[in-house]
């Protein structure tokens, strides 16, 4: 079993920066694929947007077009923490951000839109980011 606990959310002005953290604990094999998904305000849960993801087996990273060049996903292997560094944030980045983990990785990786909880084995509780 894997547990994911996000932190680092908050309010930030447009153009500013923010770093989200996700502490990953439990069975390490359960997190071969990790990533960040977000749910903008007013959107149904079935519309959680993929933001960035890492597939450890191939050392691959993926970014949504909407955040490319502004966001960096990384993982501290020693501390088992997944980060999402966000720069030059925009009001449209306002959302609840969720950390996800999966093993084995879905054959559909990267999943661009998470339409159901079953898309990933594990989800964090979410952290709110508000950009004004």
The reported pLDDT for the residue numbered 89 is: 98
pLDDT in tens, 80-102: 899 999 999 999 999 999 999 98
- List of residues 6+ apart from 103 with CB closer than 8 A: 29, 30, 31, 32, 33, 121
* Residue owning tokens 């500013």: 16
Tens of pLDDT along 3-50? 999 999 999 999 999 999 999 988 766 678 999 999 999 999 889 999
């Amino acid at each position: 079993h894997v547990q994911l606990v996000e932190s680092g959310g908050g309010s930030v002005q447009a153009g500013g920066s923010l770093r989200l953290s996700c502490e990953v604990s439990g069975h390490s094999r359960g997190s071969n694929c990790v990533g960040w998904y977000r749910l903008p305000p007013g959107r149904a849960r079935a519309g959680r947007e993929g933001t960035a993801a890492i597939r450890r087996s191939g050392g691959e990273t993926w970014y949504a077009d909407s955040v490319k060049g502004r966001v960096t996903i990384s993982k501290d292997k020693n501390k088992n923490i997944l980060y999402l560094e966000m720069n030059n944030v925009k009001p449209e980045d306002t959302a609840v951000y969720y950390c996800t983990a999966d093993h084995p990785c879905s054959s559909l990786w990267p999943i661009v839109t998470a339409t159901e909880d079953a898309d990933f084995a594990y989800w964090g509780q979410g952290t709110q980011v508000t950009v004004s």
